[in-house]
């Protein structure tokens, strides 16, 4: 097992794994590219190709959640078609994936035929009920690690006593058991060698500690989930569409400790050895990109970063700078989002920070040039005209464009070249370069 990553590439794509037979092996560096309206697959893939041209072997993962599909009225088949089309058109001959993002047992079925990457979202099950028998079974498994837990590379050891293990079981045994059930459900329909599994618990209040993560990985082994990526909750705020807000030194410490815990768990448990961290709401977190890049290189670990709404914002920027009726539509999107800001911000309340008093009046925005509009929206924090509230409101305002339906899609297609250039530049210059290059 330890030699998989040194094998020739042919074997890396699908190789054997104890207990699970064969599983599809996810590449070391993968980048999640969400695309609300499924129009920018080629422009996104072009950015990944540009990274390859510079020697960075990143693979694309087109991710879309059930919630997004419902708002847009799209289907998992649309995302698959977009990915396949982009791959054919750009003659991409490396792996690529379609991620059923944040699914659970209730929502997974429509994704099964079309996805080969499944993000098992079990955040809702944190603290859910487990039987005394299940807890005892876990306590037996965890018993060898009771006392002082040393994670190689982490200076200070962790104190692990019964009480701690019971609290870990009370919080996480229910969710990981649920992840196992979702995995089995997909596996029974798809065959377990035909997809990549991620376990996500990022949409919770409190970050998991390194010791908690260690025992979560023991549970992942226990429930036989060959997870290749795990999305913990990190310290700080991962607001949609804007930079990281939080203590960067603390983030650095926790992120590296998580890498070391994974390393230790991979050597200790029966879990895939290429297991890596997945960073959700990963678009635009420019402050921590160099930190993550430095730490994965230092520790020779892979990474998966998910981005989603950032491409939709580039579509609006593209419309604005195209001028004429496209600029009118961009202004209209803002005006409608502004009028409905409470409704649109509601579902995202925990991941946005907008001070309504600073938002420009739509009447004023109607007087803006395309360049002025684009400058307010484009994520260049040092630009004098950049407005994070304006950006976040449009970020959550994609419902407005979804309601415009064909008129919006026609406008994006009519201005395809300008829009595509924005999308590619955003992913390559502002994201990939900061993280990988
Ligand atoms: Zn997430």
pLDDT, tens digit (0-9, with 9 covering 90-100), for 116-149: 999 999 989 998 999 999 999 999 999 999 999 9
pLDDT, tens digit (0-9, with 9 covering 90-100), for 342-369: 999 998 888 899 999 999 999 999 999 9
pLDDT tier for residue 205 given thresholds of 50, 70 and 90 = confident
CA–CA separation, 126 and 73 (whole Å): 30
Give me ligand 1 centre to Cα 45, in Å.
21
CA–CA separation, 195 and 185 (whole Å): 12
The strand pair at 147-149 and 158-160 is best described as antiparallel
Give me ligand 1 centre to Cα 327, in Å.
32
CA–CA separation, 353 and 338 (whole Å): 15
- Tokens (6 digits) for 79: 């995302």
pLDDT tier for residue 5 given thresholds of 50, 70 and 90 = very low
Assess whether pLDDT exceeds 70 at residue 200.
yes
- pLDDT at position 20: 53
The strand pair at 147-149 and 117-121 is best described as unpaired
Give me ligand 1 centre to Cα 415, in Å.
31
CA–CA separation, 194 and 116 (whole Å): 6
Give me ligand 1 centre to Cα 202, in Å.
6
Half-sphere exposure for 132 (CA within 13 Å, toward CB): 0
pLDDT, tens digit (0-9, with 9 covering 90-100), for 59-107: 999 999 999 999 999 999 999 999 999 999 999 999 999 999 999 999 9
Of 2.60.220, 3.20.20, 3.30.70, 1.10.3470, the CATH number of 4-27+95-308 is 3.20.20
Q: Where are the domains of the chain?
A: 4-27+95-308, 311-422
| Residue the block writes with tokens 């994201």 | 431
Q: What is the pTM of this model?
A: 0.93
Ligand 1 ion: residues within 5 Å (CB): 202, 280
Give me ligand 1 centre to Cα 10, in Å.
31
Give me ligand 1 centre to Cα 322, in Å.
33
Give me ligand 1 centre to Cα 30, in Å.
15
Contact present, 65 and 38 (Cβ < 8 Å): no
Give me ligand 1 centre to Cα 231, in Å.
7
**Other C-beta atoms lying within 10 Å of the C-beta of residue 1:** 11
Give me ligand 1 centre to Cα 303, in Å.
15
pLDDT, tens digit (0-9, with 9 covering 90-100), for 211-261: 999 999 999 999 999 999 999 999 999 999 999 999 999 999 999 999 999
The overall longest dimension of the chain from CA atoms, in Å, is 69
Give me ligand 1 centre to Cα 276, in Å.
15
Give me ligand 1 centre to Cα 203, in Å.
6
Contact present, 275 and 229 (Cβ < 8 Å): yes
Q: Name the packing angle between helices 162-190 and 210-222 (round to 10°).
A: 40
Spell 317-354 as b/e; 16+ CB within 10 A means b.
Answer: bbbbbbeeebbebbbbbbbbbbeebeebbeebeebbeb
- pLDDT at position 181: 97
- pLDDT at position 18: 42
The mean of the pLDDT values for the chain is 93
């Amino acid at each position: 097992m330890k030699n998989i990553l040194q094998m020739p590439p042919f074997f890396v794509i699908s190789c054997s794994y104890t207990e699970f037979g064969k599983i599809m092996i996810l590449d070391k560096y993968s980048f999640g590219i969400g695309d609300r309206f499924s129009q920018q697959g080629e422009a996104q893939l072009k950015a990944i190709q540009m990274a390859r041209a510079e020697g960075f072997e990143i693979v694309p993962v087109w991710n879309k959640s059930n919630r997004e599909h419902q708002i847009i009225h799209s289907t998992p088949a649309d995302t698959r078609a977009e990915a396949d089309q982009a791959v054919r058109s750009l003659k991409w001959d490396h792996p690529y994936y379609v991620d059923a993002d944040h699914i659970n047992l209730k929502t997974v079925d429509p994704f099964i035929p079309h996805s080969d990457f499944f993000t098992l979202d079990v955040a809702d099950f944190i603290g859910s009920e487990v039987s005394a028998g299940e807890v005892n079974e876990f306590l037996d498994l965890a018993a060898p690690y009771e006392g002082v837990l040393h994670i190689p590379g982490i200076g200070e050891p962790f104190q692990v006593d019964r009480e701690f293990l019971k609290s870990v079981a009370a919080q996480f045994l229910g969710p990981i058991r649920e992840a196992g059930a979702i995995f089995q459900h997909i596996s029974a329909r798809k065959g377990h060698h035909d997809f990549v599994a991620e376990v996500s618990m990022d949409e919770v209040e409190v970050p998991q500690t390194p010791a908690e993560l260690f025992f979560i990985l023991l549970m992942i082994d226990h429930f036989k989930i060959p997870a290749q990526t795990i999305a913990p909750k990190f310290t700080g705020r991962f607001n949609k569409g804007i930079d990281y807000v939080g203590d960067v030194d603390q983030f650095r410490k926790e992120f590296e400790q998580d890498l070391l815990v994974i390393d230790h768990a991979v050597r200790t448990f029966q879990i895939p050895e290429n297991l890596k961290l997945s960073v959700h709401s990963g678009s635009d977190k420019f402050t921590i990109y160099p930190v993550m890049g430095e730490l994965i290189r230092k520790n020779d670990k892979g990474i998966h970063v998910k981005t989603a709404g950032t491409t939709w914002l580039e579509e609006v920027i593209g419309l604005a700078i195209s001028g004429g009726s496209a600029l009118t539509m961009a202004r209209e999107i803002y005006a409608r989002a502004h009028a409905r800001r409470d409704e649109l911000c509601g579902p995202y309340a925990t991941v946005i920070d907008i001070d309504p008093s600073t938002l420009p009046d739509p009447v004023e925005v109607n007087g803006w040039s395309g360049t002025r509009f684009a400058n307010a929206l484009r994520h260049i924090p040092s630009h004098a005209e950049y407005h994070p509230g304006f950006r976040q409101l449009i970020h959550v305002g994609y419902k407005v464009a979804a309601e415009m339906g064909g008129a919006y899609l026609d406008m994006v297609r009519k201005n395809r070249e300008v829009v595509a250039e924005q999308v590619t530049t955003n992913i390559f210059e502002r994201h990939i370069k900061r993280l990988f290059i």
